[in-house]
A and B are shown apart, each in its own frame.
Chain A
Amino acid sequence: MEANRKTNIIYIWMLNLNLIIILYITGIMAAGLLGHVHENSALEFMQQVNSVTMAPWKIPVTAVLLYGSLVLLLCARAENNIFLYVKTAVEVVISFMTGYLLNFSYSGMLLLILADVIRRTGRVRWRYAVIGVVCGMYLLMDYDLLSGRYHITALETYLLYYRGDIRAVFLGVKNVLFSLNILFFIIYTIQLMRAQMNEKERILSLNDKLNQANEELQLANRQMEEYARESIKNAETQERNRLAREIHDTLGHSLTGIITGLDACVTLIDTAPEAVREQLKVIADVARNGMADVRRSVKALRPDALEKMELEKALLAMMEETRKASHVEIDYCCTAELGHYNKDEEEIIYRIVQESITNAIRHGRAGKIMIAISIEYNVMNIWVKDNGIGCTHIEKGFGLHHMEERLAMLHGSLNYYVDNGFILEASIPIRWGG
């Protein structure tokens, strides 16, 4: 872009220089003509010219007008090839007319066209033909060549008006200006070449970058594929875990209740067959619930109780069921409002309570379970204590482990210790309205 800007600036310099040259030459011509009239040497001059001269004021005026139109045309962008051919042709014609006004003493305008053509015709068909035509015109538009065939008056004839030393200065300045124009053209061409080389380099470096990016992309792609594979594996594992959890949570819970109930039945069957019947009915209910849980697990994840009712009611129903099935005394105290939680929160609360009860019965052989749920500064605390045998060494079973996992998902925490039984404390940060 920078190189392009430089090329543009040089081109503008060339345009300005050509204007100066045209004004200079036509100025000298016009002044010479007026001088002849002023000094009554017009007749003498007329005998030396080869053509009728234009009125003095007309020469600079028409030359500048023609040059103006040439500049505007040069600045117009060619949108297609045909427009470009026409544009170049018209430019050449205008240059020729301007050259005619200058008595073909100057053809530098064609360098402007050439510069423009070289620059703009990157991939134009007949590019070299167009350049060739412009070059040809540049070479042909010469006084000495044309004066043999046509009536043209040499610039030198106009200069004859001036004194010898002044004429020498005029010619000197003219030559300097002409050379300057050619010099500008050369600089322009060099700059254009540099710009094109820069452009090529830029394209090459861009290409490199592109290749590099491509490689990185391929690597990332491979990593992505690996990650996807791992993800699938993870999902499988998770799903397996989930299923295990589900089986443990639902079937395990029900089966524990059934086993405890059946154990009671075995004890009671001889002494109180009636009670056994009652007990068996309850066990059957538990089994049915368990069955329903299994069905639901197959279908989805949520506990059936939660599916059907609100958290608090589900909790109460679950506790009532346990009480009935295993004759455990459950002391439940809830100071928190249990509505309006998110489903995952509701589920984890339900599961923690359910799991704690199961653990207390299965491992602690407890007869009494105390459950307290409270909320404090957006953190729900679940506290479960049983009067069971506890244990000296807590072996983290599937249930506890599972509970921890679930809590971690909600950024909650789990604590458990033994103090006259097993005590479990879980805290869950609540996202209100989530």
Chain B
Amino acid sequence: MDKIKHKNSWMTIIGAVLFLGAVFIMNDGYKKIPFRQDTVLTIGVFSDSYWEVQNGYSYQILEDAIALFEEEHEGVKVQYVSGILKEDYPEWLAEQMLLGKSPDLFFIFGENFNNLAEIGALKDLGRLMEGDNGFAQERFYTSALNCGKYGEQQYALPYECAPKLMFVNKTILTQEGIELPDEDWTWDDFYEICEAVTKDTDGNGTLDQFGVVGYTWSDAFDSNGVRLFDRKGTECHLTDEGVREAILFMEKLDGLYDGYNVTSRDFDLGNVAFQPMFFAEYRAYKPYPLSIKKYSSFEWECIPMPSGRRGANIAELDTLLLAMNGNTTQTEYAWEFMKLLSGDERIQSEIFAYSEGVSVIRDVTEADRTLQLLIDSSGDDNGLNLRVLSNAVENAVVAPKFRNNTEVAAEVDKAVRDIMKGSSNISMEQIIWNREINNFLKNRMER
């Protein structure tokens, strides 16, 4: 009996040790063992610009932030793997996550955000934000902050963003005797101008001056108050009246070109009056010798997007986000560094100097210094209106966040194109396609 008892207690002890070992490994306990004296904070970052511009300052802002951070937090080392290209970065990050080696803090693209938030790879920042008095949420642009929300939870902070603006070829407008539209211009104004400028200037029988290029149904939806999906992405509202209006408007615009396929090269050549562009694209043109040459032929200006009958002068916002590894062992330092990168004015103001995006901190974007920086980098004060920029960011549309919404977006794109191509009743088509997309959403949920 005693022997059995003895055996029992031994087995229980060994069993408990194995169990605790398993739990220890599962919870990354081994990562918390201080093998080294200093704490290491790892950052996931890509080498080139998010805005696909080679500006030679790839790690400049990060390096500055690291210097600041390491100065403030002695004994903490911030490390990152350099040389990962932007196009490889999502795959690299996914691989690190699969291998259980994801950095404590990493940059993340809007298109990957939903997926990572959904599977729980990102830390919910809600408690950190609430528990930190030094963190002032209102300093951020609401829209930018919303880009880091999934459901009701904040999973990421915005680092830099770029609103979509309408790029106007002022030279054409002046030639045609048209005044630059107001900031609250509408589709009607937009159409009128497009109609007025679309013509065959050299009289060779083909159109060679156009109204707009790159204006998509999505831009039209955004500016007409269309909310295509509900919050959770379970239902599509393709049958909305706003959708019909937008499609009709798009058809009307297309009708101007007589089947001619306008490209952005036409815009570069100075033959198109309008092109919607992200602010970053606009800035990216500037430092390029080629671009300078490209744009030297005409004068331009940025204005907000035209508004539909049901909407406002708003467009979408492209945001680069910063998220924390859901399993990080360095939550506090990661949070501190995150705050530094995304909320510190010293760092945020560098975005205008070394990157092409817009700071997510309102005060930084609207500062005089920023204007000066922009003027310095572009060499002239052409077309710069910080209020327009700031408003565009503030009012930008943030698409509902749900998983794999790129696939859904492709489906909607197919639908809208089909509806526009089709000659039958738009409302009928809308209903048919709406059902189809809802089915698609349902299947996606079930998968």
A interface residue numbers (CB < 8 A to B)? 33, 36-37, 40, 42-43, 45-47, 49-56, 58, 61-63, 65-66, 68-70, 72-73, 75-77, 79, 94, 97, 151
Contacts and interface: CB of A to CB of B under 8 A. Distances in A.
B205 interface: no
A69 B25 contact: no
A72 B99 contact: no
B21 interface: yes
Interface stretch (B6-14, B160-168, B428-436): B6-14
B21 A65 contact: yes
B399 interface: no
- Interface centre among B11, B17, B116, B121, by most chain A C-beta atoms within 10 angstroms, is B11
Interface of B: 4-5, 8, 11-12, 14-19, 21-22, 25-26, 90-91, 93-95, 97-101, 112, 115-116, 118-121, 326-327, 404
A141 B93 CA distance: 32
B121 A42 contact: no
A54 B98 CA distance: 7
A50 B100 CA distance: 16
A94 B12 CA distance: 14
Contact of A46 (B8, B16, B18, B116): B116
Given A33-B98, A43-B91, A46-B94, A66 B19 contact: yes
B98 A37 contact: yes
A46 B25 contact: no
B119 A51 contact: yes
- Interface centre among B5, B25, B327, by most chain A C-beta atoms within 10 angstroms, is B25
Contact of A72 (B11, B101, B115, B120): B11
B15 A76 contact: yes
What is the interface of chain A mostly: helix, strand, loop, or mixed? helix
Contact of B98 (A45, A77, A79, A97): A45
Nearest to B116: A46
Contacts of B119: 46, 49-52, 151
- Interface centre among A62, A75, A77, A97, by most chain B C-beta atoms within 10 angstroms, is A62
A68 B98 contact: no
Contacts of B12: 72-73, 76
B22 A40 contact: no
A37 B95 contact: yes
A65 B22 CA distance: 6
Given A52-B121, A66-B19, A69-B19, A45 B100 contact: no
A386 to B, nearest CB: 81
24 contacts: A36-B98, A43-B91, A43-B93, A46-B115, A47-B115, A49-B119, A50-B119, A52-B119, A52-B326, A53-B98, A55-B101, A56-B98, A56-B99, A65-B21, A68-B15, A69-B16, A69-B18, A72-B12, A72-B14, A73-B12, A76-B11, A76-B12, A76-B15, A79-B5
Given A76-B8, A151-B120, A66 B99 contact: no
A58 B25 contact: yes
Nearest to A53: B98
Given A37-B99, A43-B90, A66-B22, 16 more contacts: A33-B99, A37-B98, A42-B95, A46-B98, A50-B119, A52-B120, A52-B121, A55-B100, A56-B98, A56-B99, A58-B100, A68-B15, A69-B19, A75-B11, A76-B11, A79-B8
Nearest to B407: A47
A94 B25 contact: no
A151 B122 CA distance: 14
